[in-house]
């Protein structure tokens, strides 16, 4: 006998079945949360929070107070393995009570569920000898500047303003199947700046992907050798300053002895003035020595860091039997010389805008009336230099000066590259390759405009991080679900094509459209309302002939089978 239900959130139903299929629900329900259970378990309310994010909920209260409240949608609750949903106030209390340790356990489940999809894409990339393309960025999450209820919020640069809030460090991977896959998110105070986070982003990408390139230890070794040699002038200066200090000390003591023995007043006055000059000279020499010693201490500390890095990288290479080729793209906020050098030594091909604005001035001074600018975009031209050795940068870089217009204003910026790609021979390709990092900027825009990440739904810091982690998971989840649904629905002229529908429309329209859910031994039919924008459309999941029962989603389609099918 057919089971019929009405839903006001149509697409959330198959997403719920997909969540069961990939083990998301069982994983979240297995987490131990130290909260009392009344009508709904804390695990169920964490799941409800994720579903609210998937539906693009702007405010937590919309769970209960929206025109079509989620917590009244029984069909969606059952699809997500729940007998019903809690009121938003109960969800809020649960989120507020979560500890950092509990949130980390929840995030581990999200990462565990994501892993098969990530490994599938990495396998595809390796099989086609493709370079792993990572993009990293830091994005601001502002709150009201007058708020005092967000813990550890701080003022920082957010969207060209100084705002109170937080920063999220994110990394994405270019995916052959899904276009963009989020790998990681890290929560930071609002005053965190990009230039301090480059290494953290790279290490996060390596942790999630389990892949890393061969470290360029030979370059690092040569850098250390050059660094030691550069210390020679300071060491020579230190020796001479110590000698000079000793001489001045002896001269001062000689004058002191003469003062003690002298009896003539006129001679005493002369010696006293001489003593003061010796004292002043001694103090000046001591200050110079202390300055040189401080410089030496900084130099030795930097050398120690480099030697520790070399030791770590040699160990990395010894443990990495299958290094990959990988590229990192970063914007100007990360483009310090030290960050660039680190990424080079870590083995990456690097595309970045240079952080130091003085480089633009230097490059513009190199341009003459005879310089040929090459058009690389509709309003952009470039000129480039290969293997340019910049002051304070330990490695030569391919450097380009970009000239473009914003309105009637002409602007310049400096691009840098390190790697085997001969970028200076094809400037349009270099320009396009770097600007393709707009994929992560589009992803950040998606997290805020589609999933409302810019509207923090909670005020506990662990829960804020959970919202960040669930948001990037939701963006990935819908991409995976789109492929899964397309592979398992019956295709006919009435089938709603999700593969042709963007994430924004799936979340903001399809996940808020009314439909009838019909389940029987033949399968599950999601028939969209005749008064909806998808009138006449449907999604029908036929039950496999071997397993004819209404709850067939729970065990038949497995993620390993899905991956195997995708790779065939």
Q: pLDDT tens string for the chain (568 positions)?
A: 678 999 999 999 999 999 999 999 999 999 999 998 889 999 999 999 999 999 999 999 999 999 999 999 999 999 999 999 999 999 999 999 999 999 999 999 999 999 999 999 999 999 999 999 999 999 999 999 999 999 999 999 998 899 999 999 999 999 999 999 999 999 999 999 999 999 999 999 999 999 999 999 999 999 999 999 998 999 999 999 999 999 999 999 999 999 999 889 899 999 999 999 999 999 999 999 999 999 999 999 999 999 999 999 999 999 999 999 999 999 999 999 999 999 999 999 999 999 988 999 999 999 999 999 999 998 999 999 999 999 999 999 999 999 998 888 899 999 999 999 999 999 999 999 999 999 999 999 999 999 999 999 999 999 999 999 999 999 999 999 999 999 999 999 999 999 999 999 999 999 999 999 999 989 999 999 999 999 999 999 998 644 333 343 443 344 434 443 443 3
**455 neighbors 467 (Cβ within 8 angstroms):** no
Residue 162: which H helix or E strand, with range? strand 161-175
The per-residue pLDDT for 549 is 37
**Residue recorded with tokens 């969209």:** 528
CA torsion, ordered 546, 552, 557, 558, to nearest 10 deg = -120
CA-wise closest residue to 22 among 479, 389, 347: 479
The 10 Å Cβ neighbour count of residue 554 is: 14
**166 neighbors 463 (Cβ within 8 angstroms):** no
Which residues on adjacent β-strands are paired with residue 242? none
Cα(417)–Cα(31) distance, integer angstroms: 45
SS3 482: helix
Cα(88)–Cα(545) distance, integer angstroms: 41
Which residues on adjacent β-strands are paired with residue 452? none
17: exposed, middle or buried (Cβ count in 10 Å: 0-12, 13-18, 19+):
buried
């Amino acid at each position: 006998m057919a089971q019929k239900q009405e839903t006001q959130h149509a697409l959330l139903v198959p997403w719920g079945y997909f969540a069961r299929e990939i083990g998301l629900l069982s994983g979240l329900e297995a987490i131990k949360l130290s909260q009392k259970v009344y009508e709904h378990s804390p695990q169920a309310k964490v799941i409800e929070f994720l579903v609210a994010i998937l539906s693009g909920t702007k405010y937590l209260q919309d769970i209960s107070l929206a025109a079509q409240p989620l917590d009244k949608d029984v069909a969606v609750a059952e699809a997500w393995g729940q007998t019903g949903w809690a009121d938003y106030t109960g969800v809020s209390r649960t989120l507020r009570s979560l500890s950092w340790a509990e949130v980390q356990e929840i995030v581990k489940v999200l990462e565990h569920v994501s892993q098969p999809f990530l490994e599938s894409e990495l396998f595809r990339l390796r099989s086609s000898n493709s370079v792993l393309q990572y993009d990293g960025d830091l994005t601001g999450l502002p709150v009201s500047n007058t708020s005092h209820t967000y813990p550890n919020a701080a003022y920082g640069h957010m969207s060209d303003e100084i705002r109170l809030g937080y920063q999220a460090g994110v990394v994405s991977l270019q995916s052959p199947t899904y276009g963009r896959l989020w790998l990681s998110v890290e929560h930071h105070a609002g005053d965190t700046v990009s230039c301090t986070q480059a290494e953290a982003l790279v290490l996060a990408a390596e942790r999630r992907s389990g892949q890393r390139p061969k470290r360029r230890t030979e370059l690092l070794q040569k850098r250390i050798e050059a660094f030691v040699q550069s210390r020679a002038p300071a060491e020579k200066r230190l020796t001479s300053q110590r000698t000079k200090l000793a001489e001045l000390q002896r001269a001062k003591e000689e004058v002191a002895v003469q003062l003690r023995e002298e009896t003539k007043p006129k001679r005493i006055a002369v010696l006293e003035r001489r003593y003061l000059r010796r004292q002043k000279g001694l103090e000046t020499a001591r200050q110079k020595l202390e300055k040189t010693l401080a410089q030496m201490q900084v130099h030795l500390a930097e050398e120690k860091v480099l030697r520790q890095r070399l030791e770590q990288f040699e160990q990395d290479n010894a443990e990495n039997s299958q290094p990959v080729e990988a590229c990192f793209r970063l914007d100007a906020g990360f483009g310090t010389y030290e960050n660039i050098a680190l990424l080079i030594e870590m083995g990456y091909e690097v595309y970045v805008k240079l952080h130091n604005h003085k480089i633009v001035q230097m490059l513009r001074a190199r341009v003459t009336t005879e310089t040929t600018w090459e058009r690389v975009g509709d309003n952009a031209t470039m000129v480039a230099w290969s293997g340019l050795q910049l002051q304070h940068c330990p490695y030569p870089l391919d450097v380009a000066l970009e000239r473009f217009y914003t309105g009637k204003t002409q602007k310049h910026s400096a691009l840098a590259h390190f790697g085997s790609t001969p970028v200076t021979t094809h400037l349009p390709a270099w320009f396009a390759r770097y600007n393709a990092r707009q994929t992560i900027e589009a992803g950040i825009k998606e997290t805020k405009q589609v999933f409302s990440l810019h509207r923090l739904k909670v005020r506990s810091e662990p829960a804020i991080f959970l919202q960040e982690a669930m948001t990037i998971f939701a963006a990935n989840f819908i991409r995976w679900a789109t492929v899964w649904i397309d592979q398992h629905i019956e295709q006919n002229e009435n089938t709603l094509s999700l593969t042709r529908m963007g994430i924004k429309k799936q979340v903001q329209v399809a996940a808020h459209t009314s439909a009838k859910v019909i389940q029987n031994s033949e399968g599950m039919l999601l028939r969209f309302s005749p008064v909806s924008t998808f009138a006449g459309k449907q999604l029908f999941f036929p039950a496999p002939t071997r397993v004819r029962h209404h709850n067939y989603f729970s065990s038949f389609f497995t993620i390993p089978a899905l991956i195997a099918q995708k790779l065939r």
